[in-house]
Structure formats: structure tokens, C-alpha cells
Amino acid sequence: MDGNRRFAKKQKQGVVTGYRAGFTALMSIIKYCSELGVKYVTIYAFSIDNFRREPEEVKIIMDLMLEKTEGILKEESVVHQYGVRVYFLGNLKLLCEPLRVAAEKVMKATASNTKLLLFICVAYTSLDEIIHAVHESCNDKLKNIILPDKPHTDEIEVVVEEEEEKDGIKLVDIEKHMYMALGPEPDVLIRTSGESRLSNFLLWQTSHCTLYSPDALWPEIGLWNLVWAVLNFQRNHSYLEKKKKQS
């Protein structure tokens, strides 16, 4: 029993250490991106699927995220030094109230920053983003359907059908309701740890995106990884632009 407790304690310490190192890596990436002239940075901080982990582990991560989120509000933080505007994107109602409130404060406090936009995807999956966008698009269309006062049943059906045919849901309707609608489609997606799967991240937005999968774990990502990703993008840029025009 004591051995199990020691193992659990060590595992929790590993989670905390990993997330702290990941946050430090993010601050470094922000500095590098700012110096390289990158305008938009998106980080996958916590998936909806991660809520399936042990409740105690989820609480540890949420508490740590709250600590780091509140730290962003300090004047000496990297976010303020480099003029970073922060957005938290995802199904934010799934977050605990203190973290949700802290996220809202950060978004408000950084609203005037314009040098770099940082999108933090938390309580996010790409499937949830798509479902959300479709749901909101349907709601918009339903609000615009105007029925005549007390018409015959057949007339109701005709009016609705004509309205749906004229104003059916289009691609632009869905895209404007995406969580990621605040920024352009990504040019480069870095998938760390040598993984080739996207793990339910930005599936909608990455059809014409350069993928880079270094062997380094996320906390180990450094300047050379970022430079290599940019160089690889530049090498393939003309080809990707040609494919975009053909689609």
C-alpha cells in the first residue's frame, strides 16, 4: 500500500513538473516567435478528452493552469513585455469557475496588445469545435426564418422550405462560428514527440498546412526547432499556395 502511495505521489509530481516545464517552453516560444515576426501562435493546452483522467490529476492540472493564468496578469510577464494579446478558445464552460474567471480577466487585460496573438486552446477538441459551429449556424438560420401570422399548415411548409433553400447553411456560416475564427488558417503545425497524428486538434483548419513533427517533447522545444519549422514552411510555401488556389 505504501508503495502504491509513493508511486501515485511521484506520478503527480511528474505531472506538475511536466506542465511547469511546458509553460516555460511556451514563454520561450512566444519570445522567439515575436523576434521572428510570427503574428499568430496557437497552443493546445488541454483537451476535452483529458477530463477523463483521474479526477485528482485533472484538479492538479487545473490548479496549475489557474496559477499560470493569474501570473500572466503581472506587469513583468512575457505577455506584457512582448505585447501579446491572449485568447482562451474552447468549450470554456467545462472549466472550473476560478480558471474561467481568470481566463476572462487575461483576455480583457491584454485586449489592447497587438504585436502577437496567442490562442490557448483549453477544454478543446476539433470535433467539439465543429459541432459548436454547426449548432450556432443552425440557430442563426432558425432566427431568420419568418413565418406568416396563423397561416395554413401547407403554407408554413412552403415558406420554411423556400427559406431553407435560399438561406441554407454555407461554408462561410460554419467557419465564422469556429473557435479559431479569430485568426487565419495556420501555416505551420508543430506536432511534438515525433507523433504523426493531430490528436483532434485543428482538423478543420490544417488542410493546406505544413506539418512538422520533431522528436523533441514539448518542454524540450527550442529555437532551432522553431527555425527549422519556419525554413521548412518557406521551402514549401509556393507549392502550398498553388494547392490552395486549386481547391
Quick: pLDDT tens for 108-148: 999 999 999 999 999 999 999 999 999 999 998 888 775 55
**From the candidates 2, 49, 63, 187, which is the catalytic residue?**
2
Mean pLDDT value across the chain: 85
pLDDT over threshold 50, residue 238? yes
For the 4-146+167-245 domain, the top CATH level (class) is: alpha beta
Largest CA distance in the chain: 75
Question: How far is Cα of residue 82 from the mean position of the Cα atoms in its chain?
Answer: 20
Beta bridge partners of residue 121, listed in sequence order:
44, 89
Of 190, 192, 191, nearest to 219 by C-alpha is: 192
Q: Is residue 242 pLDDT above 90, yes or no?
A: no
At 167 the pLDDT is 63
Give first-to-last CA distance, the chain, whole Å.
60
Task: State how far the Cα of 179 lies from the Cα of 76, in Å rounded to an integer.
Answer: 29
Name which residue leads in pLDDT, 245 or 231. 231
For residue 196, CA distances in Å to 124, 168, 190, 212 come to: 19, 36, 10, 9
Whether the Cβ atoms of residue 70 and residue 34 lie closer than 8 Å to each other: no
Per-residue pLDDT at 163 exceeds 80:
no
pLDDT at 113: 94
Q: Which residues of 76-93 are buried (b: 16+ CB within 10 A; e: fewer)?
A: ebbbeebebbbbbbbbee
pTM of the entire predicted model = 0.83
Percentage of residues in the chain having pLDDT higher than 90:
55
Q: What is the pLDDT of residue 43?
A: 95
Q: Is 154 a catalytic residue?
A: no
pLDDT band for 158, please (50, 70, 90 cuts): very low
- Cβ burial of 94 (10 Å; 0-12, 13-18, 19+) is middle
- Does position 46 have pLDDT exceeding 90, yes or no? yes
Of the CA atoms within 13 Å of residue 242, those in its CB half-sphere come to: 4
pLDDT of residue 184: 93
What percent of the chain is modeled with pLDDT above 70?
Answer: 84
Residue 41: strand pairing partners: 118
